[in-house]
Structure 1
Amino acid sequence: MDHIEPPFRETYKTLLHKSDGEEDEDENILMVEECDLPLIDLSQLNVERDKCIKQIAQAAREWGFFQVVNHGVSQEVLHILQDEQKKVFHLPFQKKIEDNFLNLSANSYRWGNSKATYLRQVPWSEALHLSLTDISRMDECKRLRSTIEAFVTVAASLAKSLAEILSQILDIKSTYFQENCPPNTSYLRMNRYPPCPFPSKAFGFMPHTDSSFLTLLYQDQVGGLQLMKDGKWFHVKPNPHALVINIGDLFQAFSNNGFKSIKHRVVSTQEVERFSVAYFYCPSNDAVIESSCNKPSLAPVPAAVYKQFSFREYQQQVRKDVEATGDKVGLSRFLL
Structure 2
Amino acid sequence: MATYDRSAELHALDATKTGVQGLVAAGCTKLPRIFILPPEDRILPHHATASIPVIDISSSDRKQVIEEVLQASNEWGFLQVVGHGVPQAVMDSMLDAVRAFHEGKREEKARFYSREPDKSVKYHCNFDLYQSRVANWRDTLYCRMAPDPATAEELPDSCRDALLDYSMHVMELGNALFRLLSEALGLSPTYLTDIECNQGQILLSHYYPACPEPELAIGTSQHSDSGFLTILLQDSIGGLQIHHDGVWVDVPPVPGAFIVNIGDLLQLISNDRFKSIEHRVLAKDVGPRVSVACFFSTHFHPASTRLYGPIKELLSDGKPPLYRQTLGQTFSFITYRKRCGLQGAHASPLSTRIQLLLIKKHFNHHPNFEMAAPSVDVRGQETYDLAKELEQFQSSKAGVKGLVDSGITKIPKMFIHPMEDIPKPSELGPATALEVPVIDLTSVDDKQGHMEIVEKVEKAASSYGFFQLVNHGIPENVLDSLLEGSRAFHEGDVAVKSNLYTTDRSRKVRYFSNSRLYKSAFANWHDSLVCDFDGSLEANDIPVVCRKSIIDYKQQLLGVAKTVCELLSEALGLAKDHLASINAAQKQFVVCHYYPPCPEPDLAVGSKRHTDPSFLTILLQDSVGGLQVCNRGQWVDVSPVRGALVVNIGDLLQLVSNDKFKSVEHRVVANSTKGPRLSVATFFNPLRSEEKPYGPIKELISDRTPPIYRDVLFRDYMMHFASEGITARALDHFKL
Q: TM bucket by the smaller chain?
A: 0.7 to 0.9
1:45 aligns with 2:447: no
Counterpart in the other structure of 1:65 = 466
Counterpart in the other structure of 2:486 = 85
1:106 positional shift: 6.3
Asked if structure 2 preserves the Cα contact closer than 8 Å seen for 1:191 and 1:275, the reply is yes
Name which of 310, 316, 332 aligns with 2:719. Answer: 316
1:131 positional shift: 1.4
Counterpart in the other structure of 1:161 = 563
- TM-score, normalised by the number of residues in structure 2: 0.40
Counterpart in the other structure of 1:196 = 598
Give the counterpart letter for 1:310 in structure 2.
L
1:44 positional shift: 1.5
What is the DSSP-based 3-state SS (H/G/I as helix, E as strand, rest coil) of the residue aligned with 1:199? coil
Distance in 2 of aligned mates of 1:175 and 1:294:
14
CA offsets 1:48-81 (integer angstroms, 9 cap, x no match): 1111111111111111111111111111111111
* Count of residue correspondences: 320
Asked if structure 1 preserves the Cα contact closer than 8 Å seen for 2:620 and 2:645, the reply is yes
Asked if structure 2 preserves the Cα contact closer than 8 Å seen for 1:24 and 1:201, the reply is no
What is the DSSP-based 3-state SS (H/G/I as helix, E as strand, rest coil) of the residue aligned with 1:96? helix
Asked if structure 2 preserves the Cα contact closer than 8 Å seen for 1:290 and 1:306, the reply is yes
Distance in 2 of aligned mates of 1:227 and 1:49:
27
Distance in 2 of aligned mates of 1:179 and 1:136:
27
Counterpart in the other structure of 2:696 = 291
Distance in 2 of aligned mates of 1:327 and 1:28:
18
**CA pair 310-23 structure 1, distance change in 2 beyond 3 A:** closer
CA offsets 1:277-299 (integer angstroms, 9 cap, x no match): 11111112224221136749xx9
**CA pair 13-37 structure 1, distance change in 2 beyond 3 A:** closer
Distance in 2 of aligned mates of 1:131 and 1:277:
13
1:13 positional shift: 4.1
CA offsets 1:11-57 (integer angstroms, 9 cap, x no match): x84546x76xx645584254131432211111211221111111111
- Alignment gaps of 5+ in structure 2: 1-397
Distance in 1 of aligned mates of 2:419 and 2:450:
50
Distance in 1 of aligned mates of 2:676 and 2:717:
33
Give the counterpart letter for 2:647 in structure 1.
I
Give the counterpart letter for 1:147 in structure 2.
S
1:36 aligns with 2:435: yes
Name which of 239, 260, 274 aligns with 2:677. Answer: 274
Distance in 2 of aligned mates of 1:241 and 1:139:
25
Counterpart in the other structure of 1:115 = 518
**CA pair 203-248 structure 1, distance change in 2 beyond 3 A:** same
**CA pair 275-26 structure 1, distance change in 2 beyond 3 A:** closer
Distance in 2 of aligned mates of 1:328 and 1:97:
31
Asked if structure 2 preserves the Cα contact closer than 8 Å seen for 1:207 and 1:263, the reply is yes
Asked if structure 2 preserves the Cα contact closer than 8 Å seen for 1:68 and 1:243, the reply is yes
- TM-score, normalised by the number of residues in structure 1: 0.84
Asked if structure 2 preserves the Cα contact closer than 8 Å seen for 1:105 and 1:134, the reply is no
Asked if structure 2 preserves the Cα contact closer than 8 Å seen for 1:294 and 1:300, the reply is no
Counterpart in the other structure of 1:265 = 667
Of structures 1 and 2, the larger Rg is shown by 2
Q: Percent identity?
A: 27
Give the counterpart letter for 1:66 in structure 2.
F
Distance in 1 of aligned mates of 2:572 and 2:584:
21
Distance in 2 of aligned mates of 1:140 and 1:14:
31
Counterpart in the other structure of 1:307 = 710
Counterpart in the other structure of 2:191 = none
Distance in 1 of aligned mates of 2:437 and 2:632:
16
Asked if structure 2 preserves the Cα contact closer than 8 Å seen for 1:255 and 1:292, the reply is yes
Asked if structure 2 preserves the Cα contact closer than 8 Å seen for 1:156 and 1:281, the reply is no
What is the DSSP-based 3-state SS (H/G/I as helix, E as strand, rest coil) of the residue aligned with 1:46? coil
**CA pair 151-29 structure 1, distance change in 2 beyond 3 A:** farther
Equivalent residue runs for 1:245-260 within 5 Å: 245-260=647-662
Aligned-pair Cα RMSD in Å: 3.0
**CA pair 74-135 structure 1, distance change in 2 beyond 3 A:** farther
**CA pair 235-175 structure 1, distance change in 2 beyond 3 A:** closer
Distance in 1 of aligned mates of 2:542 and 2:618:
25
1:335 aligns with 2:735: yes
Asked if structure 1 preserves the Cα contact closer than 8 Å seen for 2:586 and 2:684, the reply is no
Distance in 2 of aligned mates of 1:98 and 1:226:
33
Distance in 1 of aligned mates of 2:698 and 2:414:
45
| 236-245 or 168-177, which deviates more | 168-177
Asked if structure 1 preserves the Cα contact closer than 8 Å seen for 2:586 and 2:685, the reply is no
